[in-house]
């Protein structure tokens, strides 16, 4: 496993792998602080691709000034040790100046999809995500890139980005990985106090409520959202930011649930920590992994 810090080196390794060895490249883009969710992506990349690259880059452009960029957990040594066990070929861990050189002034915006839900709560977030992924895809030139269903809106934005700008990269979205308590793995779980960590599995319980009332025949989007919200509010440590019941392809809010796949997503605060989670209802069109529907 080689750790690469320079864009030029990453570019030439990737060129060599593709040209001389005719091997497929899988990229798992991360911001480090790796957990089981990331590792499930790495495992799948390893299974599918000849060469696996994991990028570790805490991207300043996707954090608002009030966000946690400075305090975001960083531990490259620990991440490297973890990835060594997964037979990863390259870690690409560039410094900020490598990705955003002096006078950097080009940004990528996926309009519409980026403005709802997380985009409304965190203006500019998906512009930062789309910009850094465009750069990473251009440097690494992956055949496949791997994302988690936990960041469902991000997965939709990335799929749209890749389609619209004709990247030669297939986006693979894999199911959310959860702790035994039901809490989805997230690097931000590290911020939770002991009490908040005990409270946070309410998110999974609330989503399970959505699944069960949907299975019982509830088709009113607003009522479904209210039931989810009520379940969250049974937990005093939880402060709901939003509960959304939306079309899983477009993220348009749904009043009436028909035969389209539905994404129920939520953002909830526990003290200073903001967590997101989601579930897909009506998975008929969502493929064997139960991951996000293809556009
Ligand atoms: O999901 C993340 O960790 C980040 O948004 C990503 C995709 C690595 C882009 O910085």
Q: Domain-by-domain residue ranges, the chain? A: 2-174, 187-286
Q: Which of 124, 133, 145, 157 to mutate to test the pocket of ligand 1 (most atoms within 8 A of CB)?
A: 133
The model's confidence at residue 285, banded by pLDDT at 50, 70 and 90, is: low
Ligand 1 pocket list (CB less than 6 A):
29-31, 59, 62, 129, 132-133, 151, 154
35 is catalytic: no
Give the tens place of pLDDT for each residue, 135-162.
999 999 999 999 999 999 999 999 999 9
**45 Cα–ligand 1 center, Å:** 16
Bridge partners, 178 (sequence order) = 184
pLDDT for 288 equals 44
Q: Is 81 exposed, middle or buried (0-12, 13-18, 19+ CB in 10 A)?
A: exposed
CA gap 239, 219 in Å, rounded: 26
Q: Decide if pLDDT at 286 tops 80.
A: no
Choice among 35, 38, 107, 125 that is catalytic: 38
Fold classification of 2-174 is Rossmann fold (3.40.50)
Mean pLDDT confidence for 102-116: 97
112 token code pair: 């519409």
Ligand 1 atom nearest residue 158's Cα: 7
What is the CATH number that goes with domain 187-286? 3.30.1300.10
Ligand 1 atom nearest residue 62's Cα: 10
Ligand 1 atom nearest residue 29's Cα: 8
The model's confidence at residue 282, banded by pLDDT at 50, 70 and 90, is: confident
Residue nearest to atom 3 of ligand 1 (CA): 30
pLDDT for 67 equals 87
Mean pLDDT confidence for 158-178: 97
Task: Enter the pTM of the model.
Answer: 0.95
Fold matches, 2-174 and 187-286: no
């Amino acid at each position: 496993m080689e750790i690469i810090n320079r864009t030029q080196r990453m570019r030439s390794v990737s060129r060599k792998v593709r040209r001389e060895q005719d091997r497929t490249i899988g990229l798992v883009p991360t911001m480090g602080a790796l957990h089981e969710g990331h590792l499930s992506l790495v495992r799948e990349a390893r299974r599918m691709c000849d060469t696996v690259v994991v990028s570790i880059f805490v991207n300043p452009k996707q954090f608002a000034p009030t966000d946690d960029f400075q305090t975001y957990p960083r531990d490259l040594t620990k991440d490297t040790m973890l990835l060594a066990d997964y037979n990863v070929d390259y870690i690409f861990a560039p410094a900020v100046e490598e990705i955003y050189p002096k006078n950097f002034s080009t940004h990528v915006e996926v309009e519409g999809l980026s403005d709802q839900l997380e985009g409304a709560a965190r203006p500019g977030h998906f512009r930062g995500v789309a910009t850094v992924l465009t750069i990473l895809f251009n440097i690494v030139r992956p055949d496949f890139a791997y994302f988690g269903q936990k960041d469902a809106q991000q997965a939709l934005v990335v799929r749209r980005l890749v389609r619209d700008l004709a990247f030669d990269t297939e986006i693979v979205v894999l199911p959310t990985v959860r702790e035994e308590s039901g809490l989805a793995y997230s690097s931000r779980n590290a911020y939770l106090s002991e009490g908040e960590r005990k409270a946070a599995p309410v998110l999974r319980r609330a989503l399970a409520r959505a699944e069960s009332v949907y299975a019982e025949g509830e088709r009113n989007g607003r009522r479904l959202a209210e039931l989810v919200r009520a379940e969250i509010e049974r937990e005093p440590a939880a402060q709901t930011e939003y509960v959304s019941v939306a079309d899983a392809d477009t993220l348009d809010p749904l009043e009436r649930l028909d035969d389209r796949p539905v994404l129920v997503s939520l953002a909830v605060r526990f003290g200073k920590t903001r967590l997101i989670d989601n579930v897909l209802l009506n998975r008929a069109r969502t493929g064997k992994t139960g991951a996000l529907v293809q556009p």
